[in-house]
Structure 1
Amino acid sequence: METIQNVWTVVEKVRVANGAAELAIFTAIVYWFFTSSRIADMLEVLGERVGSWCGGRDHPSLRQSVRSRRRHNDIYAKLDAEYTARSTTLYRIKEGPVVPPPQPISRPPAGLACAKCAPLSRESWQDPKGAETGAVINVMNIGKQTFSNRGVVSRYLCDLTQCANLINYDYEDVVPKVVNDVTFQSAIEEVAKKEMNNILHINGSGGGEGGYASLYKTTRQKVEARALKVLNNISSAMSNGVLKLVAWVCHKAIRRLAKGGCGTRIACVERLRRAKAAGLPLIFVPLHRSHLDYILVTFALYLTGLRPPLVAAGENMSIPFFGWFLRGCGAFYIRRRVDGSDKHGDPIYKAALRSYILHSLTAKNNLEFFIEGGRTRTGKPQPPKAGILSVIMDAYLDGTIDDALLVPVALNYDKLVDGNFVREQLGMPKQMETFWSALRGIWWTLNTDHGTIRVDFNQPISLKELVTSFKKYNYLKAPIERPLASNNNSLGVNLDQRILYNNSHSSLFGADVTIEHKIMVEAIGRHLVYDAAQASALMCTNVVAYVLLTERRGGCTLRQLQDAVSARSAHLARAGRDLGYTGDAPAVCRHALEMLGRGLVRKEGSGDKTIIKPQLSIPASIELSYYANTVGVHYAANAIMATALESILQSPGADQDIVRHSDLLEAGLQLSEVLSQELIICPPCTTVSERLLDAIDSLVADDVLARVETNPGLEEERWSRRFAQRLEEENDEERPDPTRLIKYKVNSHAAAIAERRRLLLTIRPLLEAYGGAARSVRAAAHSPLVRDTLDAYTAIRNCHRLLRQWGVIEMYDEDNRRRVRLCPPYDNEKSLQEITSNIHKFNMKTDLLDFK
């Protein structure tokens, strides 16, 4: 009986539990039934029907009762509000004025081929469907845009998915072809015979015919083993697997170090895609700013679906572990110098490098090399090192390749990735890259925000078209004359040719190459550097640094800085320069000051009374100038003419109101030669005189100068009458220079003085460094001579190079040290001062540079 009662108790409990469960399930179903949108719509219809049956539509329906309880979470209330807003907006649009929708930011076309040298290339590779808008894409977001609408794995691992789906390219190993190359084998033969002759000279006879053959065989085997080692050290080992791995690592690293992303122009990528269909090798020629450049160009090309190039990297980058990864990404390592010592003058190395490059091109590989040689230490583009370019030229001229497409590449950063170059600019030796220094640099870089990165590709230019064009420029073929001397300041028309001739000393030129060929290669190299510099995106740090060092050097309020940056940005945009930033002036200045940091810019006060001043210590000025020089290059020609104008005005007895055109142009030409090692103010297809004339027109347009009206027609008529009267005389009167009558009035209002001051300060630091180097030159070791000058090392070195071109000094090696000595007749102080006065006179004292 007791057992039955226990069983019945259990049954009752189970029944109660089942009832509770059923009640809970029923309540959940009812809740879902009334809250579900579809069921709610059904209840809305049903409630309205029941309401109409019971007494019309004045009674609230079931759906309306539910809606009143859902309040702000009710989606139908939101839809009603949106409908009401749209109706009101449409009414206002119909009744009010038409307001156009906001348009995306449009940038001017940049990176187009030269219309004078490469008109066919300029018209090619363009989009036939529409005009270029200059839109910029962030290559970091390509994976998100492509795979965001696919599966769950692709959506959340879009970077990994994109890298796994990148195109696999076939990379032919050209080392066996190089080994069998006739040039490479000839170099081995030459070196083997030379070494064998040295052995015979030291040891005497070789022991007869059999001994001579045995010695030659042994020597050749050693030379071949050394040559194969040299070739293996040069060659790359590009691998699709390594490329994909590095691409994924770059996604993570660049997102961390560049919060603003890595941008490139859409039109640039589309041009390259169309050019790839031509079947010609693409030769990428970037300007060099950072070690990150090696990866960024390859990274940007690979992610946009283009074939990654083989990259000529410096031998200093062949460090453990990191060097292997770079080699897997296509790097082949070259020596910084190929001549100058027994090691660097190795003919086997020259032959191996030339053969490797040529066979890589014939294998349809793209190629990339940094035409400046090394990273710029000043922020300005450096004169080209035309060694690899000369090899490509030889390949075209001897028919190895039909043509090649040269692609200048411009890279820029909000903040320096490799840190500053102050140590080297102060004359300290460069610290070589090691495994541990690379680790420290990577750690510091990944823990620092460097803002935004830009990688922009110019329009591909046909090498064949460039060669054909440069053969037509007769002013590059005039006889070479002696450079500027103290007793002859007339530069003539061959200044352009002398600039090219003085720089065309590439170590990879053959011994039988003509001067005309060297000048043509140098001209093409300088044109590529100029094109890349003009297409560089100007970052906000560049513009703010330039404004602080030129327009607001004495300090200004934050509001004044914002106004100056806004005006300078608008001026650069009107000039066709690409601005790598957007936003209003306060946001731009705030970001730039944050990137520059307190070490370069100091703030005094707070709020509206905050004073912004540049740090004017030597290290801070050098680093701040690095950022400003990117903008300063744009104003180089105008700055040269403004400095020439000031040198004329400050000369003894000069007229302070009127200046002659001929005097102004002559002074500008002299200063252009002085700074020929620093600035490329025009492409070689344009003469320096033509560029300076354009700069004078710009000064007139900016109201710095005003033309004095004359009547040249009356003078021409008088000359014609005199010429007709004396036509039969033996001593005919020479026709006067028509520009001698052109004069300019120097404006003295506040805006004109401010513009002159800005242009003077653009190149004034360079001239001060040159003046210091010229005053300090003497017979001594080169390194102490540089340190004694106490200024930027690069400018001092370039000034010494200029003095060597003028025949003032010569450099020689003694006891493994680089030494300087004065050449006659400049080994006496008077003659030295006469020649260096051509530099000193542009360091004139002027009230424009007095900051109170």
Structure 2
Amino acid sequence: MQGKEAGGGDAQYASLYRTVRQKIEARALRVLANISSAMSNAVLKFVAWVCHKAIRRIAGGGCGTRVACVERLRRAKAAGLPLVFVPLHRSHLDYVLVTFTLYLTGLRPPLVAAGDNMKIPFFGWFLRGCGAFFIRRRVDGSDKHGDPIYKSALRSYILNSLAANNNLEFFIEGGRSRTGKPQPPKAGILSVIMDAYLDGTIDDALLVPVSLNYDKLVDGNFVREQLGMPKQMETFWSALRGIWSTLNTNHGSIRVDFNQPISLKELVTSFQKYNYLKMPVERPLTPPNNNHLGVNLDHRILYNNSHSSLFGADVSADHKLMIEAIGRHLVYDASQGTALMCTNVVSYVLLTEQRSGCTMKQLQASVENRGMKLSQAGRDLGYTGDTPALLNHALDMLGRGLVRREGSGETALVRPQLGIAPAIELAYYSNTVGAHYAPQAIMATALESILHQPGADQDTVRHSTLLDAGMQLCEVLHQEYILCAPCTRLEERMLHALDALVQTRVLHAHQTNGGLEEERWSRRFAERLEEDEEDERPDPTRHIKYRVNHDPEAVAERRRLLLTIRPLLEAYAATCRAVATSGAGSQKELVKRTLDDLALDYTQNRMPYGEAVSTDAIRNCHRLLRQWGVVEMYDENKTRCLRLAPEYDEHAAFQRIAHNIYKFNVDTKILRDK
């Protein structure tokens, strides 16, 4: 009798198992059907024809790529490995332009990971026919978004696509950049590609960083979102209105550039050798007040950002670190390969060198000089021609809403519109160049923070003091910039930035006897990527000093570099003040309060940077404070909230931490005098 009952129980469980399995399989199949692309040669041909006609209408300067890019891709195709295209994301047009460019060059278009917000009637069908497969914008493991069936189905789709030797494309930043700067990587899909390599599904893959840039952004601007307004979801009618507006606007020139393909196998092998990625982390990230910041800052930054939606719970920290490092490598390579358009250079000059306004002749000289400097630094300029014509073209693209012109000819007065909305939009174009100058700007700001200290020597500064301050500011702004590829140490990158300040005569080397040899030794020390044991030699830079150049040209260069990142520091300082006064509340309300404070400071002339009113900068400061352990995030009634951690609940304790931000946002004379 007992045997019958046991047998009946087993049969019941078996039946229940089959029922549950059938439901899960059915749902997985529905997910796959909802995700999958439906690439069609007929659709590709039609879209290529439409793109050819449309681009001639919307891009007066055409859409181009370098011949070297096409040759690289053809050599990569000959290797017989899957090509994984990893573009930076600026516009909805990016989806089509990469596929269109590859199609015209005779290369097989990739399957493209597109956000499900683009799955709108009619247009979504066309994207699917071009190779798009639609994924949720968020598939992480939170209670609200966790869905193991969905994640497993998506992972299986990607793995099978790679196993079939299909090319793949995904936007490693996730969504479009709202600031014009490259964003930290979202490594979910990259983790699946890594799994495909590690489990032998593919022998290797070639990762191709891709950069796109526009004279005038096709999607309009992101001012609404930077001012805290909710993102407007894409609909059929909004897409139709957007297309109509785009077709009736000249957006200048467009560049699509494919950078050097990188072997995934070689990347994995290389990163496995870097000992600094394997160091234990006792505490993920702390405020920058320790004496060994440069030793493990690279590792701690990677550790604090190595979270992704498709890793799974059983993945080691070393594995996450490697994927984060590879993702940052791809973003950095793509950003360095981005062609700088004339609107980028003109906007940067207007917000830094000529912020107070100038004559057209002065602006021409500044733009020509800045373009020459960028070209000498190895950056690709996406424009050619004589400076007056280029400048007029750039000002026409930016429009009267962003730049005001009074008069005509070389004596015409030109000044940027520095109200909040126009400054935010102008900063979007400027930030592409600003990201290039970020390391030097960080060192110049660090120098200013040292000179501003009570009783500081205004003529000389120690190398070690300046480098330490620069590294501290690197940590503060690590959410804003990827300053170097992870195969290069941050300290080494800052040493190169320091060299640039010497070359531009902002600083003069001022060394005591033996200083030169010690500087050489220190650079060899900084460039060493593998440190097996702590070196007991005294600080090799203790005798190295720099003399601060107070000539007008040097002061102007310092001012330009300070203005490159000063609006960010204003936003970070305001965020800390808002956190200190509120103590706790929903993140949305805290962001709004900070935006209101910044806007009030601007309207009352207490803060002159309209572009500092930025939701992205405020949220990045919140992330930094969370990583430092200063604030905690929690959910209350399905609302994301922030509060001060118990040990920082007292005002004085929080102010000691906030001082690590305040000290770089100094009221310096060279900014007031302009």
Normalised by the size of structure 2, how large is the TM-score?
Answer: 0.91
CA deviation map 1:179-222 (0-9, x unaligned): xxxxxxxxxxxxxxxxxxxxxxxxxxx99566555544444333
From 11, 20, 23, give the equivalent of 1:222: 23
Residue 584 of structure 1 aligns with which residue?
386
Task: Kindly provide the amino acid, as one letter, of the partner of residue 618 in structure 1.
Answer: I
- Measured in 2, the distance between the counterparts of 1:713 and 1:235 equals 63
Instruction: Please state if 1:326 is matched with 2:127.
Output: yes
Task: Kindly provide the amino acid, as one letter, of the partner of residue 211 in structure 2.
Answer: A
Deviation for aligned residue 1:775? 1.0
Q: 3-state SS of the aligned residue for 1:739? A: coil
> Which range moves more in the overlay, 243-252 or 704-713?
704-713
Residue 349 of structure 2 aligns with which residue?
547
Instruction: Please state if 1:693 is matched with 2:495.
Output: yes
Instruction: Please state if 1:833 is matched with 2:635.
Output: no
The aligned runs of 1:633-648 (5 Å cut-off) are 633-648=435-450
Residue 216 of structure 2 aligns with which residue?
415
- Measured in 1, the distance between the counterparts of 2:234 and 2:628 equals 36
Q: 3-state SS of the aligned residue for 1:323? A: helix
Residue 530 of structure 2 aligns with which residue?
none
Q: 3-state SS of the aligned residue for 2:237? A: helix
Q: 3-state SS of the aligned residue for 1:755? A: helix
- Measured in 1, the distance between the counterparts of 2:396 and 2:222 equals 20
CA deviation map 1:108-138 (0-9, x unaligned): xxxxxxxxxxxxxxxxxxxxxxxxxxxxxxx
Task: Kindly provide the amino acid, as one letter, of the partner of residue 432 in structure 1.
Answer: M
CA contact (8 A) 2:84 2:169 kept: yes
CA deviation map 1:761-781 (0-9, x unaligned): 001111111111111113111
Residue 594 of structure 2 aligns with which residue?
789
CA deviation map 1:66-99 (0-9, x unaligned): xxxxxxxxxxxxxxxxxxxxxxxxxxxxxxxxxx
CA contact (8 A) 2:205 2:265 kept: yes
CA contact (8 A) 1:486 1:834 kept: no
Residue 629 of structure 2 aligns with which residue?
807
Task: Kindly provide the amino acid, as one letter, of the partner of residue 566 in structure 1.
Answer: E
The aligned runs of 1:98-117 (5 Å cut-off) are none
Between Structure 1 and Structure 2, whose CA radius of gyration is higher? 1
CA contact (8 A) 1:408 1:532 kept: yes
CA contact (8 A) 1:540 1:580 kept: yes
Instruction: Please state if 1:607 is matched with 2:412.
Output: no
CA contact (8 A) 1:704 1:753 kept: yes
CA deviation map 1:154-200 (0-9, x unaligned): xxxxxxxxxxxxxxxxxxxxxxxxxxxxxxxxxxxxxxxxxxxxxxx
Instruction: Please state if 1:335 is matched with 2:101.
Output: no
Residue 465 of structure 2 aligns with which residue?
663
Residue 152 of structure 1 aligns with which residue?
none
Task: Kindly provide the amino acid, as one letter, of the partner of residue 648 in structure 2.
Answer: Y
CA contact (8 A) 1:554 1:851 kept: no
CA deviation map 1:600-635 (0-9, x unaligned): 001123334311000111111111000000001111
CA contact (8 A) 2:213 2:255 kept: yes
CA contact (8 A) 2:452 2:668 kept: yes
From 212, 230, 243, give the equivalent of 2:44: 243
Instruction: Please state if 1:312 is matched with 2:113.
Output: yes
Residue 720 of structure 1 aligns with which residue?
none
CA deviation map 1:15-50 (0-9, x unaligned): xxxxxxxxxxxxxxxxxxxxxxxxxxxxxxxxxxxx
Residue 606 of structure 2 aligns with which residue?
none
Deviation for aligned residue 1:342? 4.6
The aligned runs of 1:190-229 (5 Å cut-off) are 212-229=13-30
Task: Kindly provide the amino acid, as one letter, of the partner of residue 115 in structure 2.
Answer: G
Residue 598 of structure 1 aligns with which residue?
400
Deviation for aligned residue 1:343? 5.8
Task: Kindly provide the amino acid, as one letter, of the partner of residue 488 in structure 2.
Answer: T
CA deviation map 1:753-809 (0-9, x unaligned): 000000000011111111111111131111010011112000100000000000000
Compared CA separation, residues 667 and 486, structure 1 to 2 (3 A): closer
CA contact (8 A) 2:216 2:397 kept: yes
Compared CA separation, residues 220 and 715, structure 1 to 2 (3 A): closer
Instruction: Please state if 1:676 is matched with 2:478.
Output: yes
From 542, 549, 565, give the equivalent of 1:747: 549
Deviation for aligned residue 1:336? 1.5
Residue 70 of structure 1 aligns with which residue?
none
Percent identity reads 76
CA contact (8 A) 2:294 2:490 kept: no
Residue 455 of structure 2 aligns with which residue?
653
- Measured in 2, the distance between the counterparts of 1:372 and 1:827 equals 34
Say how many residue pairs are matched.
Answer: 632
The aligned runs of 1:441-840 (5 Å cut-off) are 441-482=242-283, 483-485=285-287, 488=290, 490-712=292-514, 735-777=537-579, 778-790=583-595, 791-840=613-662
Q: 3-state SS of the aligned residue for 2:64? A: strand
Q: 3-state SS of the aligned residue for 1:273? A: helix
Tell which has more relative contact order, 1 or 2 (C-alpha 8 A, sep 6+): 2
Q: 3-state SS of the aligned residue for 1:267? A: helix
Deviation for aligned residue 1:303? 0.5
Runs of 5+ in structure 2 lacking a partner? 1-6, 519-534, 596-612
CA contact (8 A) 1:416 1:450 kept: yes
Normalised by the size of structure 1, how large is the TM-score?
Answer: 0.73
CA deviation map 1:309-337 (0-9, x unaligned): 00000011111111011001000011111
CA deviation map 1:253-303 (0-9, x unaligned): 111111111000111101111211111000000000000000000000001
CA contact (8 A) 1:807 1:823 kept: yes
Residue 94 of structure 1 aligns with which residue?
none
Task: Kindly provide the amino acid, as one letter, of the partner of residue 105 in structure 2.
Answer: T
CA deviation map 1:229-262 (0-9, x unaligned): 1111111111111111111111111111111110
- Measured in 1, the distance between the counterparts of 2:208 and 2:536 equals 48
- Measured in 1, the distance between the counterparts of 2:106 and 2:63 equals 16
Deviation for aligned residue 1:481? 3.8
Deviation for aligned residue 1:574? 0.7
Q: 3-state SS of the aligned residue for 2:648? A: coil
Task: Kindly provide the amino acid, as one letter, of the partner of residue 45 in structure 2.
Answer: K
CA deviation map 1:330-388 (0-9, x unaligned): 00011111124456311111111111111101111000000001100000000000111
- Measured in 1, the distance between the counterparts of 2:654 and 2:106 equals 59
Task: Kindly provide the amino acid, as one letter, of the partner of residue 417 in structure 1.
Answer: V
CA contact (8 A) 2:214 2:341 kept: yes
Deviation for aligned residue 1:734? 6.5
From 644, 667, 670, give the equivalent of 1:848: 670
The aligned runs of 1:30-49 (5 Å cut-off) are none
Residue 189 of structure 2 aligns with which residue?
388
Instruction: Please state if 1:367 is matched with 2:367.
Output: no
CA contact (8 A) 1:407 1:457 kept: yes
Deviation for aligned residue 1:709? 2.8
Compared CA separation, residues 481 and 796, structure 1 to 2 (3 A): same
Q: 3-state SS of the aligned residue for 1:707? A: strand
Compared CA separation, residues 418 and 514, structure 1 to 2 (3 A): same
- Measured in 1, the distance between the counterparts of 2:517 and 2:209 equals 48
- Measured in 2, the distance between the counterparts of 1:241 and 1:473 equals 48
From 262, 265, 271, give the equivalent of 2:66: 265
Residue 603 of structure 2 aligns with which residue?
none
